C-alpha cells in the first residue's frame, strides 16, 4: 500500500502584521528599489554536540566556556533561503540570532554560506530566557526587518523543543508552515511537503509567512573560500533589548515559565564486555549477552 497524500487548501495570509504594520509586501519593497523579497533566517549558537556540555551555577547551559557552533538544524534553514535566492528570486537574506558575544560565530558561518547580512541581539538581561522569552525577542527583531518570509530550523540541537517557530509566528500574526521536507516558492505562494509517519501532506501558504524546515529539506553547502572572505565585509547589526522596545523584566530567568531545577554530569562509560571464542562457544556467549541486555 502506498503512502497517502493530502493537499490542504491555501491559507490566505494578510500582508500586514496586526501589531504595528511592520510586515511590508514584496511589491512595496520592489517599488522602493529594494530586493523584492526579504528573508529572515533565525539561527542559534549552541554547544558543540561532540564536546562536553556543562551548566552554569544557575542551571543554565554554559554557552561561553565550551566550544560552540551554528546549530546543525539551522544550517538547513540557511540553505533553504539560499536555494530560494539561487532559483532566481530577487531577495535579501538576513540571519538573526540571540545570544552572548560568542553567538556572533553562528552569524558568521551563515554569512560564509551566502547570507547577505546579520542581526545579533545581545543583552545580558536575556540570559536564562526560555522559549517564551526568546520568541518575544525574535519577534521584535523580525518586525524591524519587515520580512516577507521567516525561515527556521525544525528545532535547536540543545533545547530540541520545536516550539519557538510557532510562538514567533503567533506573535507576528503570521501563518506558519512548519516541518517542511520540500519547499517551493512561486511568487507569493509557498508550497511545502510535510512527511509524517503515515502520510504526506502538501500545504500552501501566501506570503508573508513563517516556515520551518527539517533535515530532509536540503543538503547545506560548505562555505567556499570566496564566501569566507566575503563574509568579513558583510554588515552585522548589534541590537539591545532597549533597541527592540522589550523590557528587561519580560525576559531572562526571572520571567521564564520553565526552569531547570537540577542537573548532573552524565556517568562515565563503563568498560565493555569482551567475548572470547577459544573453544568455539563465542557465538553462543555473544547471543547470551545480547539477550541479557534485551538487544535481541
The pTM of this model reads 0.80
- The residue written with cell numbers 554557552 in the block is 63
Rg over alpha carbons for the chain, rounded to the nearest Å, is 22
Question: Other C-beta atoms within 10 Å of 22: how many?
Answer: 15
pLDDT of residue 29: 58
| pLDDT, averaged across the chain | 87
Domains, in order of start, for the chain: 5-255 (3.40.50.620)
The DSSP annotation for 177-188 comes to EEEESEEEEETT
pLDDT of residue 11: 38
**Given this model, what pLDDT does residue 20 score?**
44
pLDDT tens digits for 128-177? 999 999 999 999 999 999 999 999 999 988 888 899 999 999 999 999 99
Least confident window among 2-11, 130-139, 174-183, 199-208: 2-11
Q: At CA 56, angle to CA 53 and CA 58, rounded to 5? A: 135
The lowest-confidence range among 26-30, 164-168, 175-179, 253-257 is: 26-30
Assess whether pLDDT exceeds 50 at residue 2: no
Alpha helices in 146-249 (DSSP H): 164-172, 225-231, 241-244
Amino acid at each position: 500500500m502506498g503512502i497517502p497524500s493530502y493537499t490542504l487548501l491555501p491559507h490566505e495570509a494578510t500582508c500586514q502584521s496586526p501589531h504595528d504594520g511592520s510586515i511590508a509586501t514584496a511589491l512595496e519593497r520592489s517599488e522602493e528599489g529594494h530586493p523584492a523579497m526579504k528573508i529572515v533566517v533565525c539561527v542559534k549558537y549552541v554547544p558543540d554536540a561532540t564536546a562536553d556540555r556543562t551548566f552554569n551555577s544557575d542551571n543554565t547551559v554554559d554557552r561561553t566556556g565550551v566550544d560552540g557552533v551554528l546549530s546543525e538544524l539551522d544550517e538547513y534553514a540557511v540553505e533553504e533561503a539560499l536555494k530560494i535566492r539561487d532559483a532566481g528570486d530577487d531577495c535579501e537574506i538576513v540571519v538573526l540570532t540571540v545570544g552572548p558575544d560568542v553567538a556572533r560565530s553562528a552569524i558568521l558561518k551563515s554569512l560564509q554560506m551566502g547570507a547577505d547580512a546579520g542581526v545579533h541581539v545581545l543583552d545580558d538581561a536575556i540570559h536564562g530566557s526560555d522559549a517564551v522569552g526568546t520568541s518575544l525577542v525574535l519577534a521584535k527583531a523580525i518586525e524591524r526587518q519587515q520580512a516577507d518570509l521567516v525561515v527556521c530550523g525544525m528545532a535547536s540541537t540543545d533545547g530540541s523543543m520545536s516550539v519557538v517557530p510557532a510562538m514567533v509566528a503567533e506573535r507576528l500574526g503570521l501563518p506558519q508552515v512548519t516541518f517542511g521536507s520540500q519547499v517551493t516558492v512561486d511568487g507569493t505562494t509557498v508550497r511545502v511537503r510535510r512527511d509524517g509517519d503515515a502520510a504526506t501532506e502538501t500545504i500552501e501558504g501566501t506570503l508573508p509567512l513563517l516556515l520551518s524546515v527539517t533535515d530532509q529539506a536540503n543538503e547545506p553547502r560548505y562555505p567556499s573560500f570566496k564566501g569566507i572572505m566575503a563574509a568579513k565585509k558583510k554588515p552585522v547589526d548589534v541590537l539591545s533589548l532597549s533597541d527592540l522596545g522589550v523590557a528587561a523584566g519580560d525576559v531572562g530567568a526571572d520571567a521564564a515559565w520553565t526552569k531547570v531545577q537540577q542537573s548532573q554530569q552524565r556517568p562515565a562509560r563503563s568498560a565493555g564486555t569482551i567475548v572470547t571464542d577459544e573453544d568455539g562457544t563465542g557465538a553462543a556467549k555473544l547471543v547470551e549477552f545480547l539477550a541479557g541486555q534485551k538487544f535481541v
